[in-house]
Amino acid sequence: MCCTVLGFARSADFAEDKPAGTPCRHLGADFRCGIHERLVDRGYRGCTAYDCFGAGQHTTRVTFAGADWRTHPELAGAMSAALGVLRGLHELRWHVVTALGLPAAAAVRAELAAADEELAALADLDADGLAALDLAAVHGRTVEPLRRAAALARGAVDTSGRARDARRGRARHDRRGAELSGAQLLGADLRGADLRAASLRGALLLAVDLRCADLTGTDLTGADLRDADVRGADLSGALFLTRVQVAAARGDAATALPAGLERPRAWTAARQAKP
């Protein structure tokens, strides 16, 4: 679904133009990507930094009961519309489920559980129900318990003492607990920064230098990490860090990631950051 519905323009992330609603030329008859193992080498880095959070599979398998746009071309428009709504619901649910796993967020667990139940039910609406859904309203009532969960998790982080990598001595930037939500930090030099328990929610971190920074308990919800240099950084305890954000950043073998997040292949060949 995603390889057909979404469009892209030739750029550093994509080797060619592809209009929305047109199948990618690398999409096989079996609906698999023909160059999946070579996406970066073939100029499709943007594909590695995209995640539908399972919405594509849900669209075809659940909403349309296994039908696909090739055998049922008359459903293509409705499937495309459903995918857009389902991606929003699935991404929200990913954040809710992640918040439910935060021990410090126990005070809002009941609200989070209710939100999870609602999102699951909404995702199972039929195509007409999804088309009529006010996704912005759903987002609005879900985001508040998520914010509170993040605040509780940040407040539980021990920010005493030095940041993780003591051999680098005193942190170049002490931003412990800083409120940087929505900050415009394009290209900022934050090497070795102590960002423990800070909020970078929705921050623009395009090409920011975060080498060897400590982001334990840092809220990264919606932060733009495209081309951010996170070589040697400690992201193992970062809050709400997604696969998309990781794939968009530049790391190395020394970058510490949360359990369950796969290290991008391109990182293994990157040189490690120096102290």
- At 77-136, the pLDDT tens digits run 999 999 999 999 999 999 999 999 999 999 999 999 999 999 999 999 999 999 999 999
56, 3 Cβ separation under 8 angstroms: no
Give the CATH H-level superfamily of domain 171-275.
Answer: E3 ubiquitin-protein ligase SopA (2.160.20.80)
What residue segments make up the domains of the chain, in order of their start?
A: 1-48, 55-156, 171-275
Least confident range of 2-6, 193-197, 239-243: 2-6
What is the three-class DSSP state of 3?
A: helix
d(CA 236, CA 160) in angstroms, rounded, equals 18
DSSP-assigned beta bridge partners for residue 199: 179, 219
Segment 138-163 shows an average pLDDT of 93
Local structure of residue 60 (DSSP, 8 states): I
d(CA 197, CA 177) in angstroms, rounded, equals 5
- CB atoms under 10 Å from CB of 130, counted, come to 22
Task: Give 171's pLDDT tier (boundaries 50, 70, 90).
Answer: low
**The pLDDT of residue 167:** 41
- At 28-71, the pLDDT tens digits run 988 899 998 888 889 888 888 788 999 999 999 999 998 888 88
Helix extents (H) in 27-179:
45-48, 55-58, 76-100, 109-123, 127-132, 135-155
Res. 258: pLDDT tops 90: yes
256 contacts: CB under 8 Å, gap ≥ 6: 233, 234, 235, 236
**The pLDDT of residue 268:** 76
Q: Whole-structure pTM over 0.95, yes or no?
A: no
Structure-derived torsion over alpha carbons of residues 150, 152, 158, 163, reported in degrees to the nearest 10: 20
Task: Give 275's pLDDT tier (boundaries 50, 70, 90).
Answer: low
